[in-house]
Structure 1
Amino acid sequence: MEKFLVFTLLTLNVFSFILMGIDKYKATHKLWRIEEKTFFLLSLSGGSIGVLIGMYIFRHKTRHKLFTIGIPLIILFQSLLIFYMKFW
């Protein structure tokens, strides 16, 4: 079960990272964009690290306070939740 969870989270984070790159490409070429709520749903589902890394690697959404504050807060909440579940 633990291996499945790790695999799922890894896959979700890689997907989130790639999606940030795709959205950056679309933004620079004035194409149809991926909705911001999609990135937040992915983050809340466990892909927050991929979104955060994608933000800074692709320099995408880094001027949006909702992302620069929101995504790290999601990571903090998820870390606290994991810590709580592991030790209590």
Structure 2
Amino acid sequence: MDLILPYLTPANIVTYLAAVSFIAFAAFGIDKARAENGARRTSEADLLFFALIGGTLGAYAGRALFRHKTRKQPFSSRLHGIALFQIAAAVILLVLPD
């Protein structure tokens, strides 16, 4: 753990989250284009994985902009669950004393 802690700076965390969100956003756009063209699709598991590892904002932005997977169940419920879990984890980490 001592090897990781020096890299967990606010700037590095923000950079990581921005990069993963961009990847998630792009994955939704690519999957939408593939769906329209009848090409091989990105799996829902992969799209949810990008959200799970920190790309939730990009996933929601991609859903909204590309109007992709907005009504699909259980995908939507799982994405909302990931977002709620991340919010709860962030609150716990911010509230817990050092």
If the length of structure 1 is used for normalisation, what is the TM-score? 0.93
**Which amino acid in 2 is paired with 1:84?**
I
CA contact (8 A) 1:52 1:72 kept: no
Structure 1: runs of 5+ lacking an equivalent: none
More helix by share: 1
Q: 1:43 aligns with which of 51, 57, 69?
A: 51
**Which amino acid in 2 is paired with 1:43?**
A
Q: CA RMSD in A?
A: 1.0
Structure 2: runs of 5+ lacking an equivalent: 1-8
- The total of aligned residue pairs comes to 88
* Identity rate, percent: 30
Within 5 A, what are the aligned runs for 1:17-56? 17-56=25-64
Q: Who wins on radius of gyration, i.e. which is larger?
A: 2
Residue 60 in structure 1 maps to residue 68 in structure 2: yes
If the length of structure 2 is used for normalisation, what is the TM-score? 0.84
Partner of 1:76: 84
